[in-house]
Structure 1
Amino acid sequence: MLDLKVCPTCGERAELPVVEQDRLVCARCGHRAGFRRLPLLALTGPSGAGKSTVGPELARRLSDEVVVLEQDVLWTGALRDDVDGHPAFRSTWLRMAAMIHQSGRPVVLCGTVVPPEFESLPERVFFSRIHYLALVADSDVLARRLRRRPAWRGWDEPRIAEMLAFAEWLRREGPSMSPPVELFDTTAVSLSDSVEYAEKWVRRVLRAETTRSSAN
């Protein structure tokens, strides 16, 4: 069963999945199912910092190693919930990433998210760890980039101000979150330098995860 919330034996759907020793345990029938419990890599940061330009280049460079996905493609319909943290939207992405992981390749998810929005969800148990790299930039640069965007994206001044406030908060609080958010400032660097840093971050994280798994 690719959907890790559904027991492959009795078909029960778990609202609160249970993982013991890297096996999914069905609360109804007790079946213990092995699965790939891989790390998830979140390329995050405020809008305008570079995620949408770095992501496609990462996909090209790392096509044989990871699956790079754009978070906003599911920001639609019933998933566009108004609840703080957007739990339905976040939970769906965790379930999707966990299913992709069963093919053996980790997911790099590009989109604005911070640890509290993932770490508290029931689907968090599907992953060994979630690693966060935030692309950030100075407020004036972010504002300029957002004002250049097409009108259909809806970047009016109140929304830009809200994003700038988030960006400053992320700079201040991100490194002390649990897990910490690594920051990379794109204010004065080229696209190629940003891509290079993100690629090295992905490879560094995956090497560390491989070493940790081998030690266990």
Structure 2
Amino acid sequence: MNPMICAGCGVWTDEPRVETDGPGAVLVCLSCGHREPFRRLPLFALTGPSGTGKTTVGRVLVERLSDRCVVVEQDLLWVGALRDPSGDSPAFRQTWLRLAASLQQNGRPVVLCGTVAPPQFEYWPERVLFADIHYLALTCAPEVLRARLRARPAWRGWDHRRIEEMLEFNEWVRVQASRTVPPMGLLDTTRSTVDQTADVVENWVRGLLAV
């Protein structure tokens, strides 16, 4: 389902409205008043700089969390139509929020593996479609991160400038994680194996779902 389109009158809205109704939630159309049951579930953002292991760990989590969550890779939608070279690609962020909210109507929360920080999700109208957004940022020692990015295939375009920009973002995450709203958890993957990192992320997701 598309939470931006009313099932009653078919009107599109850029600002969805969700009301709580006891233990559940209801998607409300501001044009015709139609009310539709809506699963307002948490969203799990496995974030951090490129090269810290998000995609690799995400592949492992697909199987590990298959009983509880839908694990998706953010870069699937990193296409020309959604990129904004002058800013933070708002169409890209909003599209992911809409897609994640739609996927969650099957009753399972989404784990989104990709580079995102709270300011890039928390202030869009689509934020109301989720109960909470939890952020866990993977980080890495600068020298290890630099080596990982240099080792990537040439088609990925990791030249010196891009690598240094990612190292700056890595430092920003390490310093600012506790200050964002909401704060981001941190997980250093410098010396961790893929399975060790996946263990921590899986426990993070399951622990929050249990709460």
Bucket of the pairwise TM-score, normalised by the shorter protein:
over 0.9
Q: Confirm whether residue 151 of structure 1 aligns to residue 167 of structure 2.
A: no
Partners in 2 of 1:139 and 1:86 — Cα distance? 26
Aligned-residue offset at 1:90 = 0.7
Q: Confirm whether residue 163 of structure 1 aligns to residue 137 of structure 2.
A: no
Specify the alignment match of 1:24 in structure 2. Answer: 27
Comparing 171-180 with 38-47, greater Cα deviation is found at 171-180
Specify the alignment match of 2:73 in structure 1. Answer: 70
What's the C-alpha RMSD, in Å, of the aligned pairs?
0.9
Q: Confirm whether residue 44 of structure 1 aligns to residue 47 of structure 2.
A: yes
Q: Deviations over 1:110-140 (max 9, x none)?
A: 0000000000111111100000011100111
Q: Deviations over 1:158-209 (max 9, x none)?
A: 000000000100110012211110000011122211111011011011112x
Q: Confirm whether residue 126 of structure 1 aligns to residue 129 of structure 2.
A: yes
In the alignment, structure 2 segments of 5+ residues that lack a partner are: none
Partners in 2 of 1:199 and 1:23 — Cα distance? 30
Partners in 2 of 1:36 and 1:83 — Cα distance? 35
Aligned-residue offset at 1:62 = 1.1
Q: TM-score, normalised to structure 1's length?
A: 0.93
Q: TM-score, normalised to structure 2's length?
A: 0.96
Specify the alignment match of 2:7 in structure 1. Answer: 8
AA aligned to 1:20 is: E
Partners in 2 of 1:19 and 1:66 — Cα distance? 22
Aligned-residue offset at 1:33 = 1.6
Q: Confirm whether residue 190 of structure 1 aligns to residue 193 of structure 2.
A: yes
AA aligned to 1:15 is: D
Partners in 2 of 1:18 and 1:30 — Cα distance? 11
Partners in 2 of 1:85 and 1:33 — Cα distance? 32
Q: Deviations over 1:23-46 (max 9, x none)?
A: 222111111222000000000000
Partners in 1 of 2:124 and 2:88 — Cα distance? 10
Specify the alignment match of 2:56 in structure 1. Answer: 53
In the alignment, structure 1 segments of 5+ residues that lack a partner are: 209-216
Q: Which has the higher helix share?
A: 1
AA aligned to 1:6 is: I
Comparing 185-194 with 160-169, greater Cα deviation is found at 185-194
Comparing 157-166 with 78-87, greater Cα deviation is found at 78-87
Partners in 1 of 2:53 and 2:206 — Cα distance? 19
Runs of 4+ in 1 over 2 A off after TM superposition: 82-85
Q: How many residues align?
A: 207
Partners in 1 of 2:85 and 2:59 — Cα distance? 29
Partners in 1 of 2:55 and 2:15 — Cα distance? 33
Partners in 2 of 1:101 and 1:83 — Cα distance? 31
Q: Deviations over 1:20-71 (max 9, x none)?
A: 2222221111112220000000000000111111101111111121111000
Specify the alignment match of 2:106 in structure 1. Answer: 103
Q: Deviations over 1:128-160 (max 9, x none)?
A: 000001110011110000000000000000000
